[in-house]
Amino acid sequence: MTKSEKQELIAQGLLLPLMEEFYTIQGEGFHKGTAAYFIRLGGCDVGCHWCDVKESWVAELHPPTMADAIVENAAKYSNTIVITGGEPLMWNMKPLTSKLKEKGLQVHIETSGAYELTGTWDWICLSPKKLKLPTELVYEKANELKVIVYNKDDFKFAEEQAAKVNKDCILYLQPEWSKRDKVVPQIVDYVMANPKWKVSLQTHKYLNIP
Ligand SMILES: C[S@@+](CC[C@H](N)C(=O)[O-])C[C@H]1O[C@@H](n2cnc3c(N)ncnc32)[C@H](O)[C@@H]1O
Ligand SMILES: Nc1nc2[nH]cc(C(=O)O)c2c(=O)[nH]1
Ligand code: SF4
Ligand SMILES: [Mg+2]
């Protein structure tokens, strides 16, 4: 394959930088506790200083993989597939998600929403970031809003983001992992005072699973 042929397939979403894939339990948010096969795509330029997968950021470090091959493999493991990254919406998600839907699978995304929403999704987890705000469409389509709390300013950001999502969107506050001892008590008080919010924890980290 020539370099330009490769670039064309990437632009079409037929070739994707695949960092890792693993069968585990969804640890976070609404579907926590549910077995799911995770597909982690490389590439992200949002730059969260506390990101727990910085190794994903440089897309070129991850092997370009055909969407067809990703789907054939994933279908062997689970009925629920979570597409994450990196930032999966840096890529055209239409072919990957259409092929997963053709297999009858439930297709979920973990996204910052910072790039155009492409693809067909059964569940959209929007985790907005101040550094690169979500696009309008993803606020309309999000099924859950999951705001990471690193410090007290994040409660204000969470309310600003909650004002932008659709009325059915479920609202979560999730402690940033390294600050969890400090922010968990703040989140607990906040959720009791503002019960439209729920707590989300990274339960996989407590379970010592991927
Ligand atoms: C690694 S990101 C990949 C998907 C997408 N880039 C995003 O940020 O939503 C997956 C999820 O982990 C969250 N996350 C990343 N680092 C975290 C940390 N240190 N503590 C808590 N949550 C974190 C993100 O906010 C997001 O909800
Ligand atoms: N078990 C497990 N659950 C998760 N939920 C969201 C994750 C992510 O990194 O996108 C994640 C992850 O990395 N592992
Ligand atoms: S947007 Fe997601 S992958 Fe990108 S730096 Fe932030 S947490 Fe990490
Ligand atoms: Mg993770």
pLDDT single digits (tens) 179-199: 999 999 999 999 999 999 999
78 Rama sector, left if φ>0, alpha if ψ -120 to 50, beta otherwise: beta
Average the pLDDT over 44-50 and give the result. Answer: 98
| Ligand 2 contact, 85 CB (< 6 A) | no
ipTM field: 0.99
pLDDT-based confidence at 89, cuts 50/70/90? very high
- 73-85 burial, b for 16+ CB within 10 Å, e for fewer? ebbebbebbbbbb
Q: Is 26 in the pocket of ligand 2 (CB under 6 A)?
A: yes
| Span from the CA of 26 to the centroid of ligand 2 (angstroms) | 6
> Best substitution site from 22, 57, 110, 111 to test ligand 2's pocket, by max atoms within 8 Å of Cβ?
110
Q: Using 50, 70 and 90 to split pLDDT, how confident is the model at 135? A: very high
**What band does 99 get if pLDDT is binned at 50, 70 and 90?**
very high
CATH number where 179 lies: 3.20.20.70
Confidence bin at 104 (pLDDT 50/70/90): very high
pLDDT score recorded for residue 125: 99
For residues 41 and 152, what is the distance between their CA atoms, to the nearest angstrom? Answer: 31
87 lines ligand 3 (CB under 6 A): yes
**Total structural domains in the chain?**
1
How do residues 17-42 score in pLDDT, each as one tens digit? 999 999 999 999 999 999 999 999 99
- Ligand 2 pocket test, pick from 24, 31, 38 with the greatest ligand atom count within 8 Å of Cβ, gives 38
Mutate which of 109, 112, 154, 174 for ligand 3? The one with the most ligand atoms within 8 Å of its CB, which is 112
Q: Is the pTM of this model over 0.95?
A: yes
Q: Where are the beta strands (DSSP E) in the chain?
A: 15-25, 35-41, 64-66, 80-85, 106-111, 123-126, 144-149, 170-175, 197-199
The pLDDT, as a whole number, for residue 90 is 98
Q: What is the pLDDT, as a whole number, of residue 76?
A: 98
Query: What separation in Å is there between the alpha carbon of 43 and the centre of ligand 3?
Result: 9
pLDDT class of 43 with cuts at 50, 70, 90: very high
Any ligand 1 atom below 6 A from CB of 85? yes
Mean pLDDT of the chain: 98
pLDDT in tens, 143-174: 999 999 999 999 999 999 999 999 999 999 99
As a whole number, mean pLDDT of residues 120-131 equals: 99
Q: What percent of the chain has pLDDT over 70?
A: 100
Give the pLDDT of residue 118: 99
Note down the domain range covering 130: 3-207
Looking at residues 121-132, what average pLDDT do you find? 99
Cis check for the bond before 86: say yes or no (omega within 30 of 0).
yes
Q: What is the pLDDT of residue 156?
A: 98
Closest to 112 measured CA to CA, from 98, 95, 94, 125: 125
Binding residues for substrate, as ranges, are 25-27, 40, 84, 210
Q: SS3 for 129?
A: strand
